[in-house]
Amino acid sequence: MSKINSVTINTGGGAVTIGDGAMVGSIVEQTAVLADGVTGPGQPEAVEPFDLFVSYSHKDRAFVDALAQALERLGLSVWYDRGLTTGDQFLHQINARLAAARRVLVVWSPAALASEWVLNEAEVARRSGKLIAVSCAPVALPAPFALTHAPLLPPAPDLNDPVLGDILAAVRA
């Protein structure tokens, strides 16, 4: 995560400005001026379209691994940061995949609510009309996410779970 002096996220339907010293994990359409004066490109690198970007807290990794495997068995192409390695430019990789994903699945939990990366990715998804949400633990979502249904999934998602069917239908819609 990079410390940002000021950032504007322009999503076509309006702009969100995050002010001085904010920690920002994902910037899709604008150039960011980093605290050390380095400017990062605002346009993500080109990535082939795929079905589902999963945004989650690393504290929920075991749940997300099981969920991603279940969704892949249902035929979806799923991306989450399991493929990022030391030396990768996380911000550019994440931006590219947020832009290329047909939908963004946010996995809510108390840890996700404490993650600025997850909150930012969820806002980008919400503003772009790509947001799908589930919960892996009981949680009260803040506005504007409280307006999005986030059903609670069991610890080991079953392929026959109707919530997985709903995710599949939302991606294919």
Question: What distance in Å separates the CA atoms of residue 103 and residue 108, rounded to the nearest whole number?
Answer: 16
Closest residue by Cα to residue 148 from 156, 139, 157? 139
Residue 161: both structure tokens together:
């779970």
Q: How many CB atoms within 10 Å of residue 88?
A: 12
pLDDT digit string (tens) for 73-125? 999 999 998 866 665 567 888 889 999 999 999 999 999 999 999 999 999 99
Closest residue by Cα to residue 134 from 166, 159, 111, 102? 166
Q: Helix, strand or coil for residue 5?
A: strand
Question: What distance in Å separates the CA atoms of residue 166 and residue 143, rounded to the nearest whole number?
Answer: 23
Question: What distance in Å separates the CA atoms of residue 172 and residue 40, rounded to the nearest whole number?
Answer: 33
Higher pLDDT, 115 or 8: 115
- Give residue limits of the domains in the chain: 2-40, 50-172
Q: Per CATH, the architecture of 50-172 is what?
A: 3-Layer(aba) Sandwich (3.40)
pLDDT band at 64 (very low <50, low <70, confident <90, very high): very high
Does the structure show a pLDDT above 70 at 34?
Answer: no
Question: What distance in Å separates the CA atoms of residue 124 and residue 95, rounded to the nearest whole number?
Answer: 10
Phi/psi of residue 161, nearest 5 degrees = -65, 130
pLDDT number for residue 68: 95
